[in-house]
Amino acid sequence: MSSTPSLALRGAIIVSQDEQRRVLRGDVLVRDGKIAAVAPKVEEKAEVEMDARDFLLTPGFINLHTHVANTLLKGVADDMDFPQFLETMFSFDAKRTEVDIEAGALLGISEMLLGGTTSFLDMYYGMDAVARACETMGMRGFLGWAVLDPAFTTQKGVPLQNAEAFMGRWKHHDLVHPLPAPQGVYVVNEENWLGARDLAERHKTIVHYHLSETLQEVEGHVSKSGLRPTEWLDKIGFLGPHQVAAHSVWQKNNEIEMMGRHGTAVAHCPSSNMKLASGGGGLAPVVELREKKVAVGLGTDSSTSSNSLSMLRQMQLAGLAHKHARHDPKCLPAGALLDMATVEGARALGMEGQLGVIAPGARADLALFELSHPSLAPVTLDKAIPNLVYSANEGAVHTVLVGGRVVVKDHRLVSGSAEQLRQIALDPPLR
């Protein structure tokens, strides 16, 4: 990313997400794409000065699990059971080209940026197209190339080798963080699981994968191996830190213990799990995982399964669903939900202190919400986080920065071609 001018945001209500979880009126100084100072008053002047008294300033949200290219396929698999859903999606996967993958990524990244999301963790193939879309839009992408056994894939070539080649092509880019992403125990054998882990260790990246999303997945693996998926991954020596497991809906207490012991993170995807009726109330054991110090972030999953890439929606749904299911309005309070969308997502990505926080040294990935927006107002220091989590919608997002660069201004995208996005929306290349 090219150098950006220094920027001072003056007088905002700052939801810092720092170690003290401070909410304060004050200034934030951004220099060289990073946060240089946060204080009630920062004396140093910047090249660009912004009066931010009418805004709530937050860290950019982190979408910890999605398939952004599938935004182009929104609505093609609604109201189906999980086997029907997979069959429908696999039929599209077999026909996809880099042209429509990039188009879907551009559309999905636009939706995320306009909603205050600045980083996302993805899993798909043809990821060079998604990486290009990240660069075009100025979005931070942690991009996992899907690893499957050759017998199950629609990819050309060997998926694990494809993943390694992709990682080699993009490993030095500022916005793109390439990584391997085993699809799941139902299509990946032991050799390829361990191969993906070794690849990540060599390149010092995380590993991302689906885990225990449905009861069918769990029961099928027990029938095949005698072990539940988490137990089997532990047995083969795969589980460890620097990993993000998506879903983890069907995990028992011993598996939760394993996740905590190994330091394996979880991406909780409430809207997708509930819409696909994944079972167990559609809910991962988030409270229990957090009690074991597991980093639990929030993910939207694909637009084909949740129809929305809104992290505000995920916070709201996660809070409501768990409170309702547990008959406990105090479980997962607003602060915990915001943590899951920011600092816990950063911890899962191995970016603790760099993303999801407004503190000196962190990357300046920021969102400015209009205090006067009806979905957010009225805002006081003590109600800033609950109002953001429980009531705000994307219409309140005014400005978004990634690495100190403005990518959304006055509710409009700065990067990318508006006409190109309009054409993709009106005449999608694959439907």
CATH (domain of 138): 3.20.20.140
Question: Quick check: 369 and 377 in contact, CB under 8 A?
Answer: no
pLDDT the model gives residue 111 = 96
Higher pLDDT among residues 96 and 189, named by residue: 189
Q: Do residue 266 and residue 367 come from a single domain? A: no
Place of tokens 């099928």: 220
Cα(181)–Cα(266) distance, integer angstroms: 14
The pLDDT of residue 1: 44
**Helix, strand, coil: what percent of the chain each, to 5?**
40, 25, 35
The answer on 372 and 274 residing in a single domain is no
Alpha-carbon span 116 to 121, nearest angstrom: 15
Q: Taking 80 as the threshold, does the pLDDT of residue 363 lie above it?
A: yes
DSSP structural state of residue 281: G
Claim to verify: residue 158 and residue 245 sit in the same structural domain: yes
Assess if residue 135 is contained within a domain.
yes
119 and 99 in a common domain: yes
State whether 76 and 175 are in the same domain. Answer: yes
Q: Per residue in 71-104, pLDDT tens? A: 988 888 788 887 888 788 877 777 788 888 999 9
Q: Which of 182, 174, 109 is nearest to 416 (CA)?
A: 109
Token pair belonging to 299: 């993910």
**pLDDT band at 422, cuts 50/70/90?**
confident
Instruction: Report how far apart the first and last C-alpha atoms of the chain are (Å, whole number).
Output: 34
- CATH assignment of the domain containing 33: 2.30.40.10
- pLDDT of 281 above 80: no
Side chain identity, residue 398: H
In a domain, 354, yes or no: no
Please state whether 149 falls in left (phi above 0), alpha (psi between -120 and 50) or beta: beta
pLDDT digit string, tens, across residues 307-339 = 999 999 999 999 999 999 999 999 999 999 999
If asked whether residues 283 and 375 sit together in one domain, one would say: no
- Statement to judge: residues 241 and 389 lie in one domain: no
Q: Kindly report, residue by residue over 200-220, the tens digit of the pLDDT.
A: 999 999 999 999 999 999 999
Q: Within 13 Å, how many C-alpha atoms sit on residue 198's CB side?
A: 9
In tens, the pLDDT along 222-247 reads: 999 999 999 999 999 999 999 999 99
Residue 430 lies in a domain: no
User: Do 115 and 87 have their domain in common?
Assistant: yes
Whether residues 332 and 371 share a domain: the answer is no
Residue 115 pLDDT > 90, yes or no?
Answer: yes
- Residue 57 tokens read as 């300033």
Which band of pLDDT confidence, cut at 50, 70 and 90, is reported for residue 282? low
> Which domain covers residue 41, as residue numbers?
7-59+362-413
Residue 118, pLDDT score: 98
Rounded Cα distance, 399 and 156, in Å: 40
Instruction: Tell me the per-residue pLDDT of 27-80, one tens digit each, with 9 for 90 and over.
Output: 999 999 999 999 999 999 999 999 999 999 999 999 999 999 999 888 887 888
Alpha-carbon span 1 to 177, nearest angstrom: 14
89 and 51 in one domain?
no
Give a yes or no: residue 44 inside a domain. Answer: yes
Q: Enumerate residues 6+ apart whose C-beta is below 8 A from 168.
A: none
> Is residue 316, in this structure, part of any structural domain at all?
yes
Phi-psi region of 326 (alpha: psi -120 to 50; beta: other; left: phi over 0): alpha
